[in-house]
Amino acid sequence: MKPIKNILKYASTIAIAGSLASTAVADVNVAYFLEWATPNQVAKVEKTYDKVLGEKVNWINFGSGGAMTEAMLAGDIDISFSQGLAPFVNAVNANAPIKMVGIAVAYGAADDCIVSGKSGISKANAAELEGKSVAVPLNTMADFGFRMTMRHLGVDINKVTVVDQEPADGAVSLVDGAVAMACGYGENSLSKMKEAGKPMLTSAEKKAAGITSFDIISVTDKFAQEKPEALRRFLEVTHEANAEFAEDDSKIDVIASDAGLSVEKTEAQMDGFAFPTVDEQFEDYFGKDGRVATMLPFMGKMFATEAAPAKADYSTVVDTSFLK
């Protein structure tokens, strides 16, 4: 018995020591999405971030922005790159100590609602969706897009049966004809959806209706306080990568392989993306009536719950000082 006891004792000691050691990581940990092509992936692959920051930058992929928030609260992630506004607003409503430091991607068509061809529904007779099933990943940017589209087309959401499905699952349901419309993001899922139908609104129509959105770069308060230089450098490298890509997009295959997409799908996705420069961000987004100032309260109210009511003022969670 005694050796077993000893082994158990050592094993538990090692386990405790290991768990303590793993919490004390000094590197910079960044959360990102797969299937979401951004120019800074070139910098990520070429380790430019590591070189400029002088520290090891770990990239961890996530399935949803909500999970990014959880990981940030648990202290495992410092920077969430391209977190959706919806999860960010949810986190802020729940008093999470995180803030927005910049815009990662602006997009109109990257999340989309695809109507199945079989249903015979288009924007002309969109009200026929009432009583039918629609696959939506709830509480994501696609959910936001869905609600805005329905509002624009005058469809009563309460009469639509909303099925909560991840985009990949929603694509399967749309192809099988189980749902009349599926909303989602991610180029692989969207192109599979488009096999069975076409977008409810074209990107031009969406733009006209004001249904465009953007993903942000969010950080924990702690990281922003303790490593402001690293954060500033991180944003610099990101913008440099954006600028380099705007001039010369020959490295798209690097982005494609890092995003887990084919080159064609990457091109298709990035056509719908815009990567605002620092000047553009200050001009269009962070101004007094900029898009951030209008979108945050709007979405805050949309996703407010009993436990996490909307905030009166969202400007305090935006910090542009690291962009300058």
Q: Show the site string, 257-296: x = touches other proteins by CB under 8 A, - = not.
A: ----------------------------------------
Helix or strand run (H / E) with residue 291:
helix 291-302
25 touches other proteins by CB under 8 A: no
- Out of 83, 90, 213, 218, name the contact with other proteins by CB under 8 A: 90
Q: Write down the residue that tokens 């380790």 correspond to.
A: 47
317 binds other proteins (CB under 8 A): yes
- Is residue 254 a contact point for other proteins (CB under 8 A)? no
Kindly indicate which of the ranges 109-117, 164-172, 245-253, 271-279 contains the residues binding other proteins, using the contact rule CB under 8 A.
Answer: 164-172
Q: Which of 153, 181, 152 is nearest to 165 (CA)?
A: 181
How far lies 70's CA from each of 80, 90, 217, in Å? 11, 11, 15
Residue 35 falls in which region: left (phi positive, over 0), alpha (psi -120 to 50) or beta: left
Structure tokens, 52: 């400029």
| 161 is a contact residue toward other proteins (CB under 8 A) | yes
SS3 at position 220: strand
Please state whether beta strands 161-164 and 133-136 pair in parallel, antiparallel, or not at all (unpaired).
Answer: parallel
Residue 206 or 227 having the CB closest to other proteins:
227
Backbone angles phi, psi at 84, to 5 degrees: -70, 155
CB 182 within 8 A of CB 174: yes
44, 59 contact by CB (below 8 A)? yes
Q: What is the residue-wise DSSP string for 230-261? A: HHHHHHHHHHHHHHHHHH--TTHHHHHHHHT-
The two structure tokens encoding residue 243: 């600028």
Give the contact letters, 175-194, x = binds to other proteins (CB under 8 A), - = no: -x-xx---------------
135 lines the binding site for other proteins (CB under 8 A): yes
Give which of 301, 239, 320 is closest to 85, Cα–Cα.
Answer: 301
Please tell me whether residue 306 binds other proteins under the rule CB under 8 A.
Answer: yes
d(CA 87, CA 85): 6
In angstroms, give the least distance from the CB of 226 to other proteins: 4
> Shortest Cβ distance from residue 314 to other proteins (Å)?
8
Question: Is 154 among the residues that bind other proteins (CB under 8 A)?
Answer: no
Report, in Å, the least distance between residue 274 CB and other proteins: 27
Contact 269/189 with Cβ under 8 angstroms?
A: no
Q: Which of residues 40-69 bind other proteins (CB under 8 A)?
A: 51-52, 54-55, 64, 66, 69
Q: Single out the residue of 153, 270, 34 nearest to residue 145, CA to CA.
A: 153
Of 103-111, 137-145, 205-213, 245-253, which part binds other proteins (CB under 8 A)? 137-145
Minimum CB distance to other proteins smaller for 195 or for 229? 229
94 is an interface residue for other proteins by CB under 8 A: yes
* Tokens describing residue 114: 């695809």
Which one of residues 19, 22, 158, 250 is an interface residue with other proteins (CB under 8 A)?
A: 158
Candidate ranges 123-131, 189-197, 208-216, 314-322; the one touching other proteins (CB under 8 A): 314-322
Q: Could you say whether residue 195 binds other proteins (CB under 8 A)?
A: no
Which residues of this protein are in contact with other proteins, per CB under 8 A?
26, 51-52, 54-55, 64, 66, 69-70, 73, 87, 90-92, 94-99, 133, 135, 138-140, 158, 161-165, 169, 172-173, 176, 178-179, 221-222, 225-226, 228-229, 303, 305-309, 311, 313, 316-317, 319
